[in-house]
Amino acid sequence: MKAQLSLLSIALVASLSSAAADAKDALQFKNVFDFKTAKTTQLSENGEILSFSATPYRGDATGQVYTLNNNKLLAEIERGTKPTINKAANWVAFTQVPTLLEKETTKNKDTLKNNLVLVNIANAKQQTFENVKDYQLADDGNWLAYRLDKKADKDDASADSDDAKNTDKSSEIKPDKKDKTFDLIVVNLQDETTYTVNSVFSYAINASSNELLVSQSYPDGSDNQVALITLNSTFESNVLIDEPGVVVNKIAWHPTKNIAAFTLGNYVNDDMRRRDHQLKLWQNEQLTDITSPEKSWTIGKTAKLSWSEDGERLYFENHPKLAAKIKEKKYTDQASLFDYDTIRDQKGLNVWHNNDAEIKPREEQQWNETNKNRHYQAVYHLNGKQVAQLSDTNMPSVALNTNSRDALLGSSNLPYLERIMYGGFFADYYAVNVQSGERKAIINDYPFRPSLSPNGQYATYFKNSQVQLKDLGNNKVTTLTKAIQATFADDKHDYPSAQPGYGYAGWLNDSSQVLVYSKYDIWAFDVNTLKATRLTNGKASNTQYRVIKLDKDQVGFKQDETLLLSATNLQQKQTEIAKLNLADNSVSKVLSGKKRFDVVKKAKHADKYLFTEQTYQQFPDFYQSDFSFNKAKRITDLNPQVKDFAWGQKPELISYKGFDGEDLQGVLIKPAGYQKGDKVPVVVYFYRYMSQRMYDFPAMELNHRPNFPMFTSNGYAIFLPDIRFEIGHPGKSSTQTMINATQKLIDLGIADPDKIGLQGHSWAGYQSAFMITQTDMFKAVVSGAPVSNMTSAYSGIRLKSGLARQFQYETGQSRIGKTLFEAPELYIENSPVFFADKVNTPILIMFGDKDDAVPWHEGVQYYLALRRAGKDATFLQYEGEPHHLKKFPNQVDFSIRMMQYFDHYLKGKPAAKWMTEGEAFVEE
Determine the average pLDDT of the residues in 587-594. 97
Determine the average pLDDT of the residues in 595-601. 98
| Per-residue pLDDT reduced to its tens digit, 12-42 | 334 433 344 357 999 999 999 999 999 999 9
Determine the average pLDDT of the residues in 568-578. 98
Q: Give the rounded distance of the alpha carbon of 232 from its chain centre.
A: 41
Cβ–Cβ contacts within 10 Å for residue 470, how many? Answer: 22
Q: Is the dihedral of CA 517, 519, 522, 528 positive or negative?
A: negative
- What is the C-alpha R_g of the chain? 32
Determine the average pLDDT of the residues in 457-475. 97
- Closest to 740 (Cα-Cα) out of 757, 726, 755, 723: 723
* pLDDT-derived band at 361, boundaries 50, 70, 90: very high
| Per-residue pLDDT reduced to its tens digit, 742-794 | 999 999 999 999 999 999 999 999 999 999 999 999 999 999 999 999 999 99
CA distances from 662 to 244, 656, 725, 742 (A): 73, 8, 11, 16
Distance CA 890, CA 342 (A): 46
Instruction: Quote the DSSP letter at residue 500.
Output: P
Determine the average pLDDT of the residues in 201-218. 98
Query: Strand order in 513-517's β-sheet?
Result: 504-507, 513-517, 522-526, 532-534
Distance CA 789, CA 820 (A): 12
pLDDT at 171: 81
Determine the average pLDDT of the residues in 224-252. 97
| Per-residue pLDDT reduced to its tens digit, 99-117 | 999 999 999 999 999 999 9
Tell me the residue length of the chain. 924
| Per-residue pLDDT reduced to its tens digit, 619-646 | 999 999 999 999 999 999 999 999 999 9
Distance CA 560, CA 581 (A): 7
Q: Judge whether 293 and 386 are in contact, CB under 8 Å.
A: no
Average confidence score pLDDT of the chain: 95
* pLDDT-derived band at 922, boundaries 50, 70, 90: confident
Share of the chain above pLDDT 90, in %: 94
Q: Judge whether 882 and 761 are in contact, CB under 8 Å.
A: no
pLDDT at 167: 54
- Lowest mean pLDDT across 138-152, 583-597, 830-844: 138-152
Which residues neighbour 672 within 8 Å (Cβ) at sequence distance 6 or greater?
Answer: 24, 26, 646, 647, 648, 649, 712, 713
Q: Judge whether 196 and 214 are in contact, CB under 8 Å.
A: no
pLDDT at 773: 98
| Per-residue pLDDT reduced to its tens digit, 655-687 | 999 999 999 999 999 999 999 999 999 999 999
Q: How much of the chain is helix, strand and coil, in % rounded to 5?
A: 20, 35, 45
pLDDT at 416: 97
Distance CA 664, CA 240 (A): 68
Q: When comparing pLDDT for 1 and 516, which is higher? A: 516
pLDDT at 152: 60
pLDDT of 157 strictly over 80: no
pLDDT of 163 strictly over 90: no
Q: Judge whether 680 and 644 are in contact, CB under 8 Å.
A: no
The distance in angstroms from the start CA to the end CA of the chain is 76
pLDDT of 828 strictly over 60: yes
Q: Judge whether 186 and 196 are in contact, CB under 8 Å.
A: yes
pLDDT of 196 strictly over 60: yes
Q: When comparing pLDDT for 163 and 507, which is higher? A: 507
Say if residue 531 is exposed, middle or buried (CB neighbours under 10 Å; 0-12, 13-18, 19+).
Answer: exposed
pLDDT at 168: 61
Q: Judge whether 718 and 669 are in contact, CB under 8 Å.
A: yes
Determine the average pLDDT of the residues in 484-494. 96
Query: Strand order in 873-878's β-sheet?
Result: 652-657, 663-669, 717-721, 680-685, 751-761, 780-784, 843-848, 873-878
Q: Judge whether 97 and 144 are in contact, CB under 8 Å.
A: no
pLDDT at 93: 98
* pLDDT-derived band at 923, boundaries 50, 70, 90: confident
Share of the chain above pLDDT 70, in %: 96
Q: Judge whether 87 and 45 are in contact, CB under 8 Å.
A: yes
Q: Judge whether 505 and 515 are in contact, CB under 8 Å.
A: yes
* DSSP notation for 139-180: TTSSEEEEEE--PPPHHHHHHHHHHHHTS-GGG--PPPTT--
